Homo-oligomer: A and B are copies of this chain.
Amino acid sequence: MAIKVHGSAFSTAAMRVFACLNEKGLEYEFVPVDMRAGEHKKEPFLSLNPFGQVPAFEDGDLKLFESRAVNQYIAHAYADKGNPLICQDPRKMAIVSLWMEVEAQKYDASAAKLTWELIIKPLLGMSTDDAIVEEQEVQLAKVLDVYEARLAQSKYLGGDNFSLADLHHLPTMNYLMGTRVKETFDARPHVSSWCADILARPAWQKVVAMKNNQ
């Protein structure tokens, strides 16, 4: 099979790539990396990603890492397959890029820390730091206030259609919906509808099923 994703079904970054591949209806081979055994910090994995993080991605002889860059590649290289996730028009694409950057720079800064404290640390038998949770909930709320205003005017973050800008939120959003942070999303009606909409997408539900079957 041409496309391989090396990673873990529990990794938010790997889930981001699986979601994109499912939206495009592409076949791929999932190569599990035993993160508890530290396989991602050793060769041969470091040859795929020198930062020692999952996922690593292969499409034939093209080797990539960084989930958001992988998804941009998939969306452009397979533009004619499955659901469109980007725009061809530079001005419309600029708006999608803008909200992709907001996810990466603003939303994820809080959402990733909250996911770590509330989901991953308990899974690893570590204690949640409540002070970090409280601080990051305040930060996330400020970001979601901006999203609420945006989503009052536009069905999706990048425009009228679902795009990578929405998709990139799914892994942390999904984890946080099982925590007290759900209230921070639910308190904003447009954000809450948007979450329900994008979490219900069949391509995402396949990622959830994959995680639950591990």
* Chain A residues with a Cβ under 8 A of chain B: 50-51, 62, 64-66, 68-70, 72-73, 76-77, 90-91, 93-95, 97-98, 100-102, 104-106, 146, 149-150
Contact = CB atoms under 8 A, between A and B. Distances in A.
Contacts of A51: 102, 106, 146
Given A77-B90, A90-B73, A104-B104, A66 B98 contact: yes
Given A69-B101, A100-B69, A104-B104, A94 B50 contact: no
Interface SS of chain A: helix, strand, loop or mixed? helix
B104 A146 contact: no
Contacts of A66: 97-98, 101-102, 105
Nearest to A94: B73
Nearest to A96: B69
A97 B77 contact: no
Contacts of A150: 50
A104 to B, nearest CB: 6
A196 to B, nearest CB: 23
Given A51-B106, A101-B68, A62 B94 contact: yes
B91 A77 contact: yes
Contacts of A64: 94-95, 98
A93 B76 contact: yes
Contacts of A76: 90, 93-94
B146 A50 contact: yes
